[in-house]
Chain A
Amino acid sequence: MPTPTTLDQLPLRQNAQIVAVDWGAISDNEGRRLRALGIDEGISVEKLYKGMFGLNDPIALKVGRMLIAIRKSHAQVISVRPDPVAIPA
């Protein structure tokens, strides 16, 4: 069983489930925007791309069929549990 981690630490092309979001660490407005874009506890995400020159900021996530760009500062407050078997790319 892979150990829980935060979204920014998740390796690329790795599916994971969001287990917790530290809503207190971000503003209400940002929290609502995250949820409106479908990022919430219980959903599955896949980290697909990193920013320029492989910097971990921003990152692009697959949420359902949408591709969402988020910054490291938000990814850091999102705890995820990587899926046991990585879906082949």
Chain B
Amino acid sequence: MSEIAPLIVLAGNPNSGKSALFNALTGARQKIGNYPGVTVERKSGHFSFADGRHAELVDLPGSYSLDPTSPDEEVTRGVIMGLQDGERRPDAIVIVLDAANLDNHLRFALEVIGLGHPVVVALNMMDLAERDGLTLDPKKLEELLGVPVVPTVAVRRRGLDELTATLENRLQQKTTPHKPIVVAERDHGLRKQAKQIANQVIVAETAGRRWSERADRLFLHPFLGPLILLSVLFIMFQAVFAWSEAPIGWIEGASEWAAAAVESNLSPGFLRDFIIEGAIGGVGSVVVFLPQILILFLFILILEASGYMTRAAFIMDRLMASVGLSGRSFIPLLSSFACAIPGIMATRSIADPRDRLTTILVAPLMTCAARLPVYAIIIGAFIPPTKVGPGIGLQGLVLFGLYVFGIVGAMIVALVLRSTVTKGPNSGFLMEMPKYQLPSLRDILIGLWQRAWIFLRRAGTIIFAATVVLWLLLTFPKVPEDSAMSQVDYSVAGRIANVIAPVVKPIGFNRDIALALIPAMAAREVAVAALATTYAIDAPDEEAEAKSLTERLQSGWSLPTALAFLAWFVFAPQCISTIAVTKRETNGWKWPMFMLAYLFALAYVAAGITYWSAVALGL
């Protein structure tokens, strides 16, 4: 073996438990990137053999065939053939098979084995096969395929040592147990051969507990199914608010403590103000949303890993079809409620390019977690906490209305796009619905950790930079002692805002909002930090500074202005990261620019209509 760690790739059908196996072998230290020139994710990690030597492991996108029908499948084919840009030729291929689904999954396995590269088969999810009443003979499969076969249960970490030991032997060419199988030539032949092999490997088949099927009778019930889905979504959004209260309190406490610590340890002056108002205040006001984002992702990850998400897609397909999308778009759009970035990245599973583009373009309309701080502060300040019904508060209702506003907006936009810029024949909806499965805690935690890391990195870089720059622009130049102007009006930021103010004045926005909109281009939640920073700097004395942001808003803004501000944030594309990810996913500037333009136009119109309607109603 050479000095460089050997490259092992995991290949297999979607839903074969490939990613669970990848997580089980590599742990949390994974590198996620992209293949050059294409929007296909490259996931790699390391594991070690029994003797301590390392190997690089790459999790290839799930594929049904080496005859590609999507960019994902093209990359899988490219890597396996050793032709993919950005990847060296693999030293061995691990084909992951769903043991309960052999006849279907063997088709792809046969295609790969037919190429003659070093292959080890992981006969995965053996536990589910047993649950289904199947008894398999792995030795027989090994004999028939002519390549090593190792039974595994990736989510329970069973069979991993055997798998790595077999790989090691295979790499050192110690074993070539049997003559490799001669693989049938085409499509139809492959399927027949797969079926024949499966029939010989399955030694017994009892009715078993068809647990999955019984669950589907409930979850896919024509009437109960949609009701259950609605309940699941309701519980999810409830939890986002209810469960996050305590951790948000801890984060707020920690940032107050940090501010107090800095205050007592540093002498008054520029540096102290900078750290307390700019750094701790700015970043702190954003990090408090980490709990909500993580709770939302916890639900999404569990729904995905359990297999329920594809059922949700099935139920939603008809509805999505009415606006020219498919059930496939449901998963990315649901993720977009947490954050549009993973949502847009999840559109990669949509095979039809027009469908995918439409989904990307409307994803930012889903109310992401970053809008919550903005909504929460405005609703808290302007909407009274009255009850409009048993257990239904007016504040919650307004928040719910903003979510609905975004969804309805997205549906209308999708419909318009599908009959204009993304016009084309209605795409199909063809999807495997995997068996239900108890998600593994480990996989969920790895997923959550990756999300938390992305968010914190964003808070630590983009959001931090934006708040710091804003703070500097607001602080300089210092207003002269004898001037009647306020510090904000005198500062660079105030002067810029005064230029923008006339543009947003017709939709009811004041100078402070114009000021907050600039740094909020970096990320929506910065708007709150920006308002807080602005009012903190503008405070004439210590006492005024202590007044909460809520009180300042109440005294400074009219209700129509506040409502217009909410309407603006339903649509405004104020998130550089979303624009950047759209550029990456659509391979150019055309679509992100289009997205920016149409969303700003919508935001302006929506805020304007809201403002003038509210004024006309005398609010």
Contacts and interface: CB of A to CB of B under 8 A. Distances in A.
Interface of A: 26, 29-30, 32-38, 40-41, 43, 48-55, 57-58, 60, 63-71, 73-74
Of A37, A53, A54, A65, the most chain B CB neighbours within 10 A belong to A65
30 contacts: A30-B430, A32-B65, A32-B69, A33-B69, A33-B351, A34-B430, A35-B187, A35-B191, A36-B107, A36-B108, A37-B64, A37-B432, A43-B191, A49-B216, A50-B222, A51-B315, A52-B319, A57-B317, A58-B327, A64-B104, A65-B101, A67-B216, A67-B434, A67-B435, A68-B430, A69-B310, A69-B314, A69-B432, A71-B317, A74-B430
B433 interface: yes
B318 A69 contact: no
Nearest to B310: A69
A40 B212 CA distance: 24
Given A33-B351, A60-B433, A65-B132, A73 B104 contact: no
Interface of B: 64-65, 67, 69, 100-101, 103-104, 107-108, 132, 187-188, 191, 212-213, 216, 220, 222-223, 225-226, 310, 313-319, 321, 326-327, 351, 426, 428-435
Contacts of B107: 36, 38
Contacts of B426: 73
A68 B434 CA distance: 9
B325 to A, nearest CB: 12
A36 B69 contact: yes
Nearest to B313: A69
A30 B326 CA distance: 14
B44 to A, nearest CB: 26
Given A32-B67, A65-B103, A37 B318 contact: no
B430 A71 contact: yes
Contacts of B428: 26, 30, 33, 70-71, 73-74
SS of A interface (majority): mixed
Contacts of A70: 428-430
A68 B431 CA distance: 6
A67 B318 contact: no
Nearest to A35: B187
Given A33-B351, A57-B318, A69 B104 contact: no
Contacts of A74: 428, 430
Contacts of B188: 35, 40-41
SS of B interface (majority): helix
A39 to B, nearest CB: 9
Contacts of A30: 428, 430
A32 B191 CA distance: 13
B64 A33 contact: yes
A34 B107 CA distance: 13
B132 A58 contact: no
B433 A69 contact: yes
B430 A63 contact: no
A55 B316 CA distance: 12
Contacts of A54: 222-223
B429 A71 contact: yes
A67 B433 CA distance: 5
B437 to A, nearest CB: 13
Contacts of B225: 52
A51 B314 contact: yes
Of B64, B315, B429, the most chain A CB neighbours within 10 A belong to B429
A39 B609 CA distance: 51
B222 A53 contact: yes
Contact of B223 (A34, A43, A53, A57): A53
Given A40-B188, A69-B429, A70-B430, A64 B103 contact: yes
Contacts of A55: 222, 318
Contacts of A41: 188
Contacts of B326: 71
Nearest to B314: A69
Of A37, A57, A68, the most chain B CB neighbours within 10 A belong to A37
Q: Which 7 residue pairs spanning A and B have beta carbons closest together?
A: A36-B64, A54-B222, A49-B220, A36-B65, A67-B433, A69-B431, A64-B103
Nearest to A36: B64
B430 A53 contact: no
Given A35-B191, A37-B104, A74-B428, 7 more contacts: A32-B67, A53-B222, A58-B318, A64-B103, A65-B132, A67-B216, A73-B428
